[in-house]
């Protein structure tokens, strides 16, 4: 019996599926290393942004992480409960909530320093492939952002 599914609807021919699957698998890999620190992968992304830019408005965190406040507000509240950040209204513009790093939040950076390296070690994927993949994704990302603005 032949299968009439057209080629373009076969799972193995999709670009999006391996992207979607790889993203989830990597999040699982991170979990083992981030769970002892009490944070999730999306929280880790937000912390990376804050380690570079804090103090930083919620809006600016969202712009870099490509996340809206409906995702960020509860996530930031959880980070605040953990004691890693402080949320504080900006005096000069009361609409803005600025995110500040606490001492624990800054200290967390040192405890995370080995995570990216350890992760690369754990799955032996060749370094040149990683670089190639990253270059392609960095090219794709702005294109995707643009087509969502239309």
Residue 137 touching DNA (CB under 7 A) = no
Nearer to a copy of itself, 59 or 134 (CB): 134
Instruction: List the one residue out of 93, 89, 88, 62 whose CA is nearest residue 75.
Output: 62
- Decide: 100 and 54 in contact? Cβ < 8 Å: yes
Q: Is 54 in the site for DNA (CB under 7 A)?
A: no
Pick from 69, 100, 102, 112: which binds DNA (CB under 7 A)?
69
When asked if residue 72 is in the footprint of DNA (CB under 7 A), the reply is yes
Our CB check for DNA shows the closer of 63 and 127 to be 63
Helices (H), 35-85: 41-53, 58-65, 69-81
Q: Which residues bind a copy of itself (CB under 8 A)?
A: 3, 5-6, 8-11, 14-30, 41, 45, 48-49, 51-52, 64-66, 109, 112-113, 116-117, 122-125, 129-130, 132-134, 136-141, 143-148
């Amino acid at each position: 019996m032949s299968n009439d599914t057209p080629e373009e609807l076969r799972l193995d021919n999709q670009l999006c599926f391996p992207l979607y699957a790889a993203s989830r698998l990597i999040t699982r890999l991170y979990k083992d290393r981030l769970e002892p620190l009490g944070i999730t992968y999306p929280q880790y992304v937000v912390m990376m942004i804050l380690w570079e830019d804090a103090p930083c408005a919620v809006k600016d965190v969202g712009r870099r992480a490509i996340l809206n406040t409906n995702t960020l507000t509860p996530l930031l509240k959880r980070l605040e409960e953990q004691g890693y950040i402080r949320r504080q209204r900006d005096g000069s513009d009361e609409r803005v909530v600025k995110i500040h790093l606490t001492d624990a939040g800054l200290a967390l950076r040192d405890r995370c320093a080995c995570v990216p390296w350890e992760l690369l070690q754990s799955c032996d994927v060749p370094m040149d492939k990683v670089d190639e993949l990253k270059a392609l994704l960095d090219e794709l990302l702005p294109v995707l952002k643009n087509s969502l603005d239309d």
